[in-house]
Amino acid sequence: ACSLLRSPKGFPKLKNDTFLRAARGEQTEHTPVWCMRQAGRYLPEFRETRASQDFFATCRSPKLCCELTLQPLRRFPLDAAIIFSDILVVPQALGMEIVMVPGKGPMFTEPLKEVEDLLKLRQKVDVTAELGYVFQAITLTRHSLEGKVPLIGFSGAPWTLMSYMIEGGGSTTMAKAKSWLYRHPEASHRLLRLLADVIIDYLVGQVAAGAQALQLFESHAGHLGPELFQDFALPYIQNIAQAVKSKLKEEALPLVPMIIFAKDAHYALRDLAHAGYEVVGLDWTIRPQEARAQIGKDVTLQGNLDPCALYAPKEKIGELVKKMLESFGTQRYIANLGHGLYPDMNPEHVGAFVEAVHAHSRHINKH
């Protein structure tokens, strides 16, 4: 139950640290598993909790975020929880207004059109003032989890957030945002730097609030080719890992494992392996063996079952999971989907996925 806020200190003792051990490259008895968007619309209880509230109002309610984060854990023996929130809370913190349009998704009321529009953004963001509601949700959820599993915090990466801020919503080409990279490279770097600085403080604040791991979502990496990624995404991804770690040290906070998930960025796997993250997340379009060959043995891999595989019959899901585990190996590996769960998925199939990971990885480890 997500009731009263207690102090961030004195969190309950962690009972299942399999996910954290795998992230750090330690031996595990079974392969840990969690799902992107595990707190989502595929769960009837999620739809019920969310029904009466505006989406971003839900994000701003620590109590509701806590409840939504815990729902999947009541159903499935997942090895990690991820705080219910949204990557677009960062552009909101910079002063941009976003509405959730039913059937369409998030829309910015005034996207960035000209370079001058950058002046409208807050140049200095006090993350506690602007995003303190996320920190409260994390602290509350960490207590409410009662040490069952670790809690993951997250943020969108600079390029992905920039693309939303210019496109004003989803886009199949990201042409408006990419045109900035070609026409206004300096202004693009100014915006990316501003975003990175906010993200660094935001992630450190999440650890201070109780997050035990952090994931950075570069969801729109696939719209960039190797050169644009090298110029406009990778330097900020590297800088965020480095700056978060040095600030955690300075503030005597735990050095939590960090995960980078750059969707469709096969071309950058070698670079991502050296970007300062303990874990590299993979989408479903790459072969596990190829990813392992490029990333090497010193980084944990996370992924990468095609989310649509969960539409298959349960036996088939089991077979696909077994094959995935054999390809990745059961160690230095966290099982997940290659992207988030879709709203029309059957919760029982999600359960079958989670259970298959545990059963097959235990079996492989024994033999």
- 37 classed as catalytic: yes
Q: Which of 17, 60, 79, 164 is catalytic?
A: 164
* Other Cβ atoms within 10 Å of 289 Cβ, number: 12
Q: Nearest CA to 66 among 148, 173, 145? A: 145
Q: Nearest CA to 325 among 283, 293, 353? A: 353
Q: Which of 21, 50, 142, 292 is catalytic?
A: 50
Q: Do residues 237 and 214 make contact, with C-beta atoms less than 8 angstroms apart?
A: no
Q: Do residues 92 and 102 make contact, with C-beta atoms less than 8 angstroms apart?
A: no
The one-letter amino acid at 75: R
Cα–Cα distance for residue pair 348/75, rounded to 1 Å: 9
Write 122-126 long-range contacts (CB < 8 A, 24+): 122/93, 122/94, 122/95, 123/194, 125/93, 125/94, 125/197, 125/198, 125/201
Q: Which of 21, 37, 142, 292 is catalytic?
A: 37
Integer-rounded Cα radius of gyration of the chain? 19
- 86 classed as catalytic: yes
| Phi, psi dihedral angles at 336 (to 5 degrees) | -165, 180
105 beta partners: 101
Q: Do residues 234 and 275 make contact, with C-beta atoms less than 8 angstroms apart?
A: yes
- 41 classed as catalytic: yes
Q: Nearest CA to 239 among 157, 302, 300? A: 157
| Residues 85, 64, 37, 34, CA torsion sign | positive
Q: Do residues 46 and 76 make contact, with C-beta atoms less than 8 angstroms apart?
A: no
Tell me how far the alpha carbon of residue 173 is from its chain's centroid. 22
Q: Which of 24, 41, 190, 193 is catalytic?
A: 41
Per the structure block, which two tokens stand in for 351?
A: 């359960």
Task: Kindly list the distances between the CA atom of residue 108 and the CA atoms of 92, 164, 168, 195, 356, in Å, as whole numbers in the listed order.
Answer: 10, 8, 5, 17, 40
Q: Do residues 134 and 60 make contact, with C-beta atoms less than 8 angstroms apart?
A: no
Active site residues: 37, 41, 50, 86, 164
